[in-house]
Amino acid sequence: MVRSAAGGGPGHGTLQGHDAAASALARLSSSLKPQLGTRLPAVLSVRVLLFILVVVLSLGVLVPIVSRSRSDLNAVRTSQTVPRLPHTANLHLGTNWRRYSLPQAAQAVASDGVLIVCTVSQPYLEFLNNWLISLARQNRHQAALIIAEDYATLDFVNTRWPGHAVLIPPALHEESNLRFGSQGFFNLTSRRPQYLLEILELGYSVLYNDVDMVWLADPFSYFKNKRDVYITDDMAMIKPEDHSHALPPPGKNGRTYICSCMLYLRPTEGAKLLMRAWIKELQERQWSPSHKTNDQPAFNWALNKTAGQVHATIFY
């Protein structure tokens, strides 16, 4: 029994209450039946339409922006792969990149008697890209000489930056594995001291860098004293400004822990002696499956054995 809206007794307004109940049941029943043609309330319809409009407008604005951003990013990556730097070596050999020698290339790119050298094979071209950009930010790229270990790298660099890459025969055979500790990695890095010795014998000072590093500042301010060799150690500890520049004592393996990743060499007899000693150590300490070595232990042995003859300083 439904009470009337007027609040009368049980018998008062019974018919009116019955009609109201019937109407409510009818509405409930109709709302439970699936009716495809039912129209949304006006307020709800407006909200739905506004939501759809916002989604459509958002997609119309954001999709082109995202697409353009991806295109721009790809364009930047493409354009920075061995960047087309403004300085080109003063070497007019056309496309005869495979014919010119290290003396020709060194003479073309040296700046004030200094070369900045790296050695690169094709798998390391992305590292080369980062390294070159960091040199350009310090305005030192004009002295960069890239020693290509394969013809693919030689052609790739010289077609984009003529005269700044040279290959010293024989070209390194393509290796299936150039990861650290592999024979391919040893073969790649063990050629380094011979390259550096040849440059020193031509009369140039040379700053060698591994390409998996970048310059945050110009390092040449560290090379003021007339030392034969400037080196860095392989320790993670950050040194104070007044740190010792002397060669540290040998570690537990009987040798020092100097990194061969960054070397500055002057064309002195001491620097040449060190390079010859390094070459000899590499010949005596070949890679094998049981002894997966690389160029750095041999470099440290060479440093230790020539310590009294070579004026070396740890610049960082």
Tell me the average pLDDT across 34-40. 47
Higher pLDDT: 24 or 106? It is 106
Query: Tell me, what's the pLDDT at 59?
Result: 65
Tell me the average pLDDT across 283-298. 69
Where are the strands (E) in the chain, listed by range? 114-120, 144-148, 165-167, 205-209, 229-233, 258-265, 312-314
Query: Tell me, what's the pLDDT at 171?
Result: 74
Query: Tell me, what's the pLDDT at 290?
Result: 58
Instruction: Check pLDDT > 90 for residue 205.
Output: yes
Instruction: Check pLDDT > 50 for residue 3.
Output: no
Tell me the average pLDDT across 39-66. 62
Please check whether residue 222 is in contact with residue 215, taking contact to mean a CB–CB distance below 8 angstroms: no
Task: Compute the mean pLDDT over every residue in the chain, rounded to the nearest whole number.
Answer: 75
CATH 3.90.550 fits 102-314, yes or no: yes
Distance between CA atoms of 109 and 168, rounded to whole angstroms?
16
Q: Residue 29 — very low, low, confident or very high, per pLDDT cuts 50/70/90?
A: very low
pTM of the complete model beyond 0.85: no
Instruction: Check pLDDT > 80 for residue 9.
Output: no
Query: Tell me, what's the pLDDT at 314?
Result: 86
Task: Kindly give, in sequence order, each residue whose CB lies less than 8 Å from that of residue 290, ignoring residues fewer than 6 positions away.
Answer: none
Could you tell me how many residues make up the chain? 316
Q: Residue 84 — very low, low, confident or very high, per pLDDT cuts 50/70/90?
A: low
Instruction: Check pLDDT > 70 for residue 166.
Output: yes
DSSP secondary structure code for residue 173 in this structure: P
Please check whether residue 154 is in contact with residue 97, taking contact to mean a CB–CB distance below 8 angstroms: yes
- pLDDT, tens digit, for every residue of 112-158? 999 999 999 888 899 999 999 999 999 999 999 999 988 889 989 98
Distance between CA atoms of 232 and 264, rounded to whole angstroms?
10
Higher pLDDT: 247 or 271? It is 271
Tell me the average pLDDT across 170-191. 65
Tell me the average pLDDT across 213-238. 87
Q: Of 79-83, 172-176, 238-242, 247-251, which range is least confident? A: 79-83
The domains of the chain are located at 102-314
